[in-house]
Amino acid sequence: MAAIDRSTVRALLAGVMTANSLGHLATAAAGKEHLTPLAGRHSGPAVNAVWGGANLLGGLALARSAATAGRRWGGELNAFGAGAAGFAAWMFCSELLWSVNSEG
């Protein structure tokens, strides 16, 4: 089995973090509440803006650090996409089953 290099791991985590930012930033823009580790289940728009922004900036920094040399993406683009898609699938399923951030 081939070892996974650090660039691939950083790209995967970048995808997770940037995907995670979307729900929080949309929550902030809509003036709703959404679970964050900063203020719990009833985190308001301001807290979600901070948390979403932190995830977006962190994810973009990880994406930058994961990028290989050259003008075009390499395999790290697939890792980024897998991280984003995996997180999106998790959010969809967790909301469908447990309604953590919605009213059912």
pLDDT tens, position by position, for the chain (104 residues)?
Answer: 677 899 999 999 999 999 999 999 999 999 999 999 999 999 999 999 999 999 999 999 999 999 999 999 999 999 999 999 999 999 999 999 999 999 87
The number of beta carbons lying within 10 Å of the beta carbon of residue 41 is: 10
Q: What is residue 4's predicted lDDT score, i.e. its pLDDT? A: 84
Residue spans per domain, the chain = 6-98
Interatomic CA distance for residues 27 and 14, integer angstroms: 20
Buried b (16+ CB within 10 A) or exposed e, 56-92: bebbeebbeebbeeeeebeebbebbeebbeebbeebe
pTM (two decimals) = 0.94
